[in-house]
Structure 1
Amino acid sequence: MTDEVAIVGAGAAGAGAAYALRDANVDLTVFEKSQGVSGRAATRRKNGCTYDHGANYVKSDDDRVSTLLTEVLDDDGLVDIEEPIWTFDGDGEISEGRDADEHKWSYETGITQLGKRLFAETDAAIEHGVRVAEPVREDDGWRLRDDGGSDLGAFDAVLLTPPAPQTSDLFGSANWEHRLCRELRRRIATVPYRTIISAVLHYPFEIDLPYYGLVNSDKDHDVGWLSREDCKDGHVPDGESLLVVQMAHDWSVEHHDVSETELTDAVSDMVADLLDDADLAAPDWTDAQFWRYAQPEGAIEDDVLEKGASHDLYFAGDWVTGEARVHAALRCGLETGERMSERFGG
């Protein structure tokens, strides 16, 4: 008998879990609210440019993830950013960063290829444009409903991968008369999150800089991160430059309802000041994205999530590990998917 398994969310954690379940004796359905995969490891294309406007790259901090990207999955088009990352402080003073000798990977066609290539190795059915709103506990498993109340089907096990606040909200409407339901909602809701606005600034000329990215080292500047997409092969045509600028949490929260034009005007002025180049105050085109739940700043410290497994309810994501990195979310998904595979005869 084949078991029915659902994954909520097609980000790095969901893709990793689906990959780990590829040989298990399950029928796997993935519900994703957007029209794409990979979550915040997102890629856009505009005017001949490709840019990673959420997560910028995958670090090589995890040996298993590194092996997966470079030796197991198709590595055609894999890009390793060679330029270093430098730092700047609250006064805008730029300094050379520490050479950590680590890899920074994306793809010529964008970092979203990570999720696409993982899912391509599976037989998972991905249902796009579906927002799961209510898990209903039944005697022999779970039934999911969307935000319109439509039945999405019955499942023997469910894996939840949305950001912690959204996962917590699911238990506010869950039809599950069990104290663990209330405990999960309360404990998951305690995970703090950083909100980030990403501004994309394009210029019809080359910017000559000795680094790929700048990171604010003292958390005392309105700009939190700045990087050059033209350092990634295949992303930006020759003779052009494209900057991805991610703003600090407080600034992002204060400007969440500002128009894109006003927002990118303010960001480009700050970039021109930070890099001491007046020409950068006038990009020829821009883009922006508001990430409400961009990065977790902690994790649940007790074993409440482990209790869910006894009810065939699982959790994965960077908020489970407490490390806001793509490789951490992917590794968590892989490990959780393997646990589920063992449970269902993989």
Structure 2
Amino acid sequence: MTEIGVVGAGAAAAAAAYVVDGAVPDASITVLEKSGGLCGRAATRRRDGVTYDYGANYIKDDDDRVLDLLDRFDDGLVEVEGGIDVFDRTGEVSDGRDDQERKFTYETGLTRLAKHLFGATDATVHRRTRVEGIARTDDAWVLTDADGERWGPFDVLVLNPPAPQTAALLETADWEHEARENLLDAVRDVEYRTIWTAVLGYPFELDTPYYALVNTDKEHAVGWISREECKPGHVPEGESVLIVQANHEWSVERYDADPEANVADLAAHAAAIVGDDRLTDPAWTDHQGWRYALPEGGLRRGVRDAAEDAGLYCLGDWVAGEARVHAALRNGLETGERLVYNL
């Protein structure tokens, strides 16, 4: 029996578990996830008949392997309707590109894909279990959670948290190996953009031709606005739900500010950009701060290989160096295949 421990239940971890479970019959996979959900920043919430993806917005049509994965798990898969237009620092909207990619989610939200992938394996997922310690003893990995419970021993350890949280685990790891310091330095080098998100619900339909608006010059307080009603099954007819994501600078400055004030400010910006004053007064709201939202770098391959030779694998969109769900999924598939090969 090969024991595999996984920290984090993000999209990449789900894809890797799917590959390993299918290729290594005697593998036992234990996943420890700090939150109550699956799929990491590809997150979904529901309320009063509304479903909304409030982190990552969709899976991009940009990778044949990921599309093949979606074909295998197409129960509830839907294509987002409408294109993406752009706006500048003044809030002026203009047409987007003509050659826009297809965009996918699920009727029940992006988290459905991770549920599909983990559900197709014998992996055991323990939610609300925060890993705080890593130790390498007697050629095996042992994890310690926030309650002091020990997990393992594991033959292989897979780390899926964002780079800063992975670095925090490596900093305190009881692991004497030259690969540790090189890996830690490389992980620390991966920088992130922060995003503060407001979710705005309205009891009326918007008359706009686009699915989303993106700020291309990155000089507006808002970086992204999208309409969840463009995703089949997400919003009841006659209603609208906007996902409004602030840019990095605004998000860092206002991250710990009063949430109600943040939401009101982003609603006012959305109203001005879309050109509809009604948007300043949503019927209901939600919000989420993503301190580690968009990685701006990747993990150097030589550092990655040395750690994997020692039985420790890092995966996620930050390893791939591309802040997209499809990049996380592809990285999970590729990492899972290397893990299988090494086993």
1:248 corresponds to which residue?
A: 247
Q: Give how far 1:338 is off.
A: 1.4
Q: Could you say what secondary structure the match of 2:193 adopts?
A: strand
Give the TM-score normalised by structure 2.
0.97
Q: 1:274 maps to what in 2?
A: 273
Distance 2:301 2:143 in 1: 27
Q: Is the 8 A contact 1:49 1:235 kept in 2?
A: yes
- Give the unaligned 5+ runs of structure 1: none
Runs of 4+ in 1 over 3 A off after TM superposition: none
Partner residue, 1:51 = 52
Residue in structure 1 matched with residue 66 of structure 2 by the alignment: 65
**Counterpart residue identity of residue 139, structure 2:** D
The yes-or-no answer on 1:304 pairing with 2:303 is yes
Q: Distance in 1 between matches of 2:152 and 2:80?
A: 43
SS in 1 for 2:82: coil
1:102 matched to 2:106: no
Q: Secondary structure of 2:182's partner?
A: helix
CA displacement, residues 232-263 of structure 1 (integer Å, 9 cap, x when unaligned): 11111111100001110110111111222111
Quote how far apart the aligned CAs of 1:81 are: 1.2
Looking at structure 2, the residues matched to 153 and 311 of structure 1 have their Cα atoms a distance apart, in angstroms, of: 17
Residues in 2 aligned to 1:336 and 1:115: alpha-carbon distance in whole angstroms: 16
Shift of 1:300: 2.9
SS at match of 2:270: helix
- Given the alignment of the two structures, is residue 169 of structure 1 paired with residue 168 of structure 2, yes or no? yes
Letter in 1 for 2:177: H
Further displaced range: 158-167 or 294-303: 294-303
State the Cα distance separating 1:101 from its structure 2 match: 4.0
Q: Provide the aligned C-alpha RMSD in A.
A: 1.1
Distance 1:336 1:301, change over 3 A: closer
CA–CA distance in structure 1, aligned partners of residues 306 and 117 of structure 2: 28
Aligned to 1:209: 208
Distance in 1 between residues matched to 2:19 and 2:187, nearest whole Å: 25
Where 2:36 maps in the other structure, the secondary structure is coil
- SS of match in other structure, 1:143: strand
Corresponding letter in the other structure for 1:298? G
Output the CA distance in 1 between the equivalents of 2:177 and 2:300.
21
Provide the residue aligned with 1:179 in structure 2: 178
Distance 1:237 1:273 in 2: 25
| Equivalent runs, 1:21-36 vs 2, <5 Å | 21-23=20-22, 24=24, 25-36=26-37
The separation in 2 between residues aligned to 1:100 and 1:112, in whole angstroms, is 27
Q: 1:16 — aligned with what?
A: 15
Match of 2:5 in 1: 6
Deviation at 1:302, TM superposition (A): 5.1
**Structure-1-length-normalised TM-score:** 0.96
Kindly provide the amino acid, as one letter, of the partner of residue 26 in structure 1.
A
Counterparts of 2:302 and 2:95, CA distance in 1 = 41
Q: CA deviation at 1:9?
A: 0.8
Q: State the SS of the aligned residue for 1:263.
A: helix
Q: 2:8 is matched by which residue type in structure 1?
A: G
CA distance in 1, matches of 2:309, 2:276: 58
Q: Aligned partners of 1:68 and 1:101: how far apart in 2?
A: 21
Cross-structure match for 1:234:
233
Question: Which amino acid is 2:65 matched to?
Answer: R
CA contact (8 A) 2:35 2:127 kept: yes
TM-superposed deviation, 1:149:
3.0
Q: Name stretches of at least 5 consecutive residues in structure 2 with no aligned partner.
A: none
Counting aligned pairs with the same residue, the percent is: 52
Conserved in 1, the CA contact under 8 Å of 2:228 and 2:241? yes
Q: 3-state SS of the aligned residue for 2:286?
A: strand
Q: Tell me if the contact between 1:197 and 1:289 (Cα under 8 Å) persists in the aligned partners.
A: yes
- How far off is 1:269 after superposition? 0.7
Instruction: Tell me if the contact between 2:180 and 2:307 (Cα under 8 Å) persists in the aligned partners.
Output: no
Which is further off, 159-168 or 91-100? 91-100
CA distance in 2, matches of 1:131, 1:179: 26
**Cα deviation code 1:101-134 (max 9, x no counterpart):** 4210001111110101111110000011111111
Partner residue, 2:140: 141
Contact 1:260-1:287 at 8 Å conserved across structures: no
Q: Does the Cα contact within 8 Å between 1:4 and 1:26 map onto a contact in 2?
A: yes
Alpha-carbon separation, structure 1, partners of 2:334 and 2:178? 27
CA distance in 1: counterparts of 2:261 and 2:192, whole angstroms: 25
Give deviations 1:68-126, integer Å, cap 9, x for gaps: 102x12x1221101300011111111111102242100011111101011111100000
Q: Secondary structure at the match of 1:254?
A: helix
Amino acid at match of 1:79: V
1:22 partner SS: helix
Contact 2:6 2:158 in 1 (8 A): yes
Distance in 2 (CA, whole Å) between partners of 1:76 and 1:182 is 43
Once residues 206 and 156 of structure 1 are traced to their aligned partners in structure 2, the CA distance between those partners, rounded to angstroms, is: 54
1:342 alignment counterpart? 341
> Which residue in 2 is equivalent to 1:332?
331
Q: How far is the alpha carbon of 1:168 from its aligned partner?
A: 0.7
Between the aligned partners of 2:304 and 2:243, the Cα distance in structure 1 is 35
Give the counterpart letter for 2:242 in structure 1. L
1:84 corresponds in structure 2 to 83
**Alignment partner of 1:287: what SS?**
strand
Contact 2:201/2:241 (8 A) holds in 1: yes
Can you list the C-alpha shifts for 1:284-317, whole angstroms capped at 9, x where unaligned? 1100001110110111345111101111111110
Residue 112 of structure 2 corresponds to 113
